[in-house]
């Protein structure tokens, strides 16, 4: 006999007030239950199977919210898209009235706790790169402070002052990337390499509501862009066309790239508890990035460079795979070239160099298969992938192929990378 259908449902919802629209949950959800419009991220109650895969990767905790609703009348996607804040939890009387209104059996209410839909145990088999990404940091990562400033924190935002804004890609080209330094003065803002911050652009959007925060990876090490200063740097690309190539003027990226030294910016964060670097001696770091995905890689590289300069830390291998359309598009190309070869092993891949075949980061990785395979077998290796969403699948597949061609079991190595916090994916 089938179990009776629940009268009340515990509906999984996202708090729009603290969500920073980072897309992590949508990328993580194995069944495609999460979607978004230009304003909100929402969960389709009919698709969500309560696997909880999205909970720990969410940097703000906004996805860890639930509302008891009549099973016959959950919040629709349209309702969730319209929210500026979560609706209040219904009182027992309100819930009873709502159940009655939706045609549910009110007499079953007292005995029945709000139910979560049963998880679907039929695991899918298609390869999904996101399934291999870790949600825990490596064991030797330092403690990350998060959400010190934000809608639900004691202080909503912190004001930072721009102390530097330099274009780092060639002037006159259609791509325009800036290296921006923000100083927090006397306000505490402790960060680690791999974390990000939220920038709140001034003004309102087309519907008259305040702009939501945009997330930017920190490009400087934990002790500051300038060592010993309470500052950090960002690598921001001016968005002038959308993902389909249509001309647009990205709100936050243009605001940031146009800032002058001395201007102030409203910041929230920091965010991120897992994309953190290992701190134990002889730990290896493999960094794979495209475009502004170089920001966290710059931070990690620079921290290891400072440790090396101190003479007090024995680093493992650093290996970087850096992809761009052309050489001119690479932020920080010059300084990276100057790092000693025994410190970091740098591999570039250009996909649109005139007269040369297209080459992507995964092609460069396959060319270095022997070295990568050795690193994959070393439990002291942590791998970081950051940049364009479109690179993620190819990169994880390349890692799998490198392992398998070396006679290793990807299922074993991939599972260890994930559970030990050693493969991190951050694509946007
Ligand atoms: C974890 C994380 C880290 C990030 N780190 C960085 C970083 O270090 N540097 C950085 O520059 N950005 C980074 N981003 C992206 C950043 O948060 C913004 O999404 C980006 O700057 C665009 O914001 P905007 O306000 O300018 O554009 P919006 O006004 O939000 O968007 C305008 C239009 O452009 C499209 N669009 C948005 N972003 C892009 C894009 N990158 N390319 C093409 N079209 C786009 C939108 O879909 C929309 O149609 C990161 C995002 C995440 C989730
Ligand atoms: S709980 Fe699982 S199915 Fe539901 S939204 Fe989160 S990741 Fe998707
Ligand atoms: S902040 Fe959390 S809920 Fe919002 S988009 Fe990111 S992962 Fe999803």
What sign results for the dihedral spanned by CA atoms 414, 415, 416, 419?
Answer: positive
**Token representation of residue 85:** 């804040």
Which residue CA neighbors atom 47 of ligand 1 most closely? 242
327 CB burial (10 A radius; 0-12, 13-18, 19+): exposed
The residue nearest atom 7 of ligand 1, judged by CA position, is 216
Nearest to 303 by CA among 168, 192, 189, 229: 192
Determine the residue of 239, 330, 387, 425 to mutate for testing ligand 1's pocket, defined as the one with the most ligand atoms within 8 A of the Cβ atom.
239
**Right CATH number for 130-141+274-427 from 3.40.50.80, 3.30.980.10, 3.40.50.720, 2.70.98.10?**
3.40.50.80
Indicate whether residue 215 lines ligand 1 (CB < 6 A): yes
CB atoms closer than 10 angstroms to residue 368 = 16
The CA 26 to ligand 3 mean position distance, Å, reads: 8
Which residue CA neighbors atom 6 of ligand 2 most closely? Answer: 54
Domain boundaries, given as residue ranges, for the chain? 8-126, 130-141+274-427, 158-271
Pairing type for strands 158-167 and 264-271 reads antiparallel
Separation of CA 32 and ligand 2 centre (Å)? 8
DSSP letter, residue 272 = -
- The answer to whether the CB of 31 is under 6 A from ligand 2 is yes
Does ligand 2 have an atom closer than 6 angstroms to the CB of 8? Answer: no
Structure tokens at 70: 């009549």
Q: What is the pTM of this model?
A: 0.86
Q: Please count the helices (runs of H) and the strands (runs of E) in the chain.
A: 10, 15
52 lines ligand 2 (CB under 6 A): yes
d(CA 348, CA 236): 20
Beta-carbon contacts of residue 44 (< 8 Å; ≥ 6 apart): 33, 34, 35, 77
- Sequence-distant (6+) residues with CB within 8 A of 404 are 410
Best probe residue, ligand 3, of 12, 15, 21, 268 (max atoms within 8 Å of C-beta): 21
- Residue 229 Cβ inside 6 Å of ligand 1? The answer reads no
The CATH class that applies to domain 158-271 reads: mainly beta
C-alpha 410/C-alpha 428 separation (Å) is 25
Ligand 2 atom with the smallest distance to the CA of 52 is 1
Residues of the chain below pLDDT 50: 1, 117-124
Q: Which fold has domain 8-126?
A: Alpha-Beta Plaits (3.30.70)
Q: How far is CA 280 from each of CA 137, 275, 378, 382, rounded to the nearest angstrom?
A: 13, 16, 14, 11
Atom 7, ligand 3: residue with shortest CA distance? 58
pLDDT of residue 121: 42
Going by alpha carbons, the residue nearest to atom 46 of ligand 1 is 242
Residues with Cβ within 8 Å of residue 104, at least 6 apart in sequence: 7, 8, 70, 71, 72
What is the rounded distance in angstroms from the CA atom of residue 233 to the CA atom of residue 183? Answer: 9
């Amino acid at each position: 006999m089938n179990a009776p259908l629940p009268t009340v449902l515990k509906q999984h919802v996202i708090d729009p007030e603290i969500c920073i629209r980072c897309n992590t949950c949508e990328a993580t959800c194995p069944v495609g239950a999460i979607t978004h419009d230009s304003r909100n991220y929402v969960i389709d109650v009919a698709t969500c199977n309560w696997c909880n895969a999205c909970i720990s990767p969410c940097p703000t905790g906004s996805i860890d919210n639930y509302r008891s609703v009549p099973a016959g009348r959950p919040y629709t996607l349209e309702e969730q898209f319209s929210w500026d804040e979560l609706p209040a939890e219904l009182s027992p009387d309100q819930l009873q009235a709502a159940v009655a209104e939706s045609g549910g059996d009110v007499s079953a209410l007292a005995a029945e706790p709000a139910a979560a839909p049963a998880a679907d145990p039929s695991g899918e088999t298609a390869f999904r790169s996101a399934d291999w990404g870790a949600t825990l940091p490596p064991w030797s990562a330092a403690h990350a402070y998060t959400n010190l400033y934000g809608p639900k924190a004691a202080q909503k935002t912190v004001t930072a002052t721009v102390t530097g804004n330099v274009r780092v890609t060639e002037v006159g080209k259609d791509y325009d990337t800036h290296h921006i330094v923000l100083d927090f003065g006397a306000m505490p803002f402790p960060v680690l390499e791999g974390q990000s911050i939220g920038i709140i652009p001034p003004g309102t959007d087309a519907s008259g509501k305040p702009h939501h925060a945009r997330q930017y990876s920190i490009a400087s090490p934990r002790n500051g862009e300038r060592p010993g200063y309470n500052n950090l740097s960002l690598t921001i690309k001016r968005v002038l066309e959308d993902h389909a190539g249509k001309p647009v003027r990205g709100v936050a990226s243009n605001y940031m790239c146009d800032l002058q030294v001395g201007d102030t910016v409203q910041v929230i964060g920091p965010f991120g508890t897992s994309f953190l670097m290992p701190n134990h001696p002889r730990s290896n770091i493999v960094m794979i990035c495209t475009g502004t995905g170089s920001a966290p890689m710059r931070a990690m590289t620079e921290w290891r460079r400072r440790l090396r300069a101190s003479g007090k830390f024995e680093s493992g291998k650093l290996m970087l795979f850096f992809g761009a359309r052309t050489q001119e598009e690479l932020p920080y190309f010059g300084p990276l070239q100057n790092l000693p070869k025994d410190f970091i092993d740098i591999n570039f891949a250009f996909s649109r160099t005139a007269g040369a075949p297209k080459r992507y980061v995964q092609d460069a990785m396959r060319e270095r298969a022997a070295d990568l395979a050795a690193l994959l077998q070393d439990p002291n290796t942590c791998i970081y992938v950051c940049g364009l969403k479109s690179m993620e699948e190819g990169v994880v597949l390349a890692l799998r192929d490198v392992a398998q061609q070396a006679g290793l079991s990807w299922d074993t190595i991939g599972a260890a990378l994930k559970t030990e916090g050693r493969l991190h994916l951050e694509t946007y």
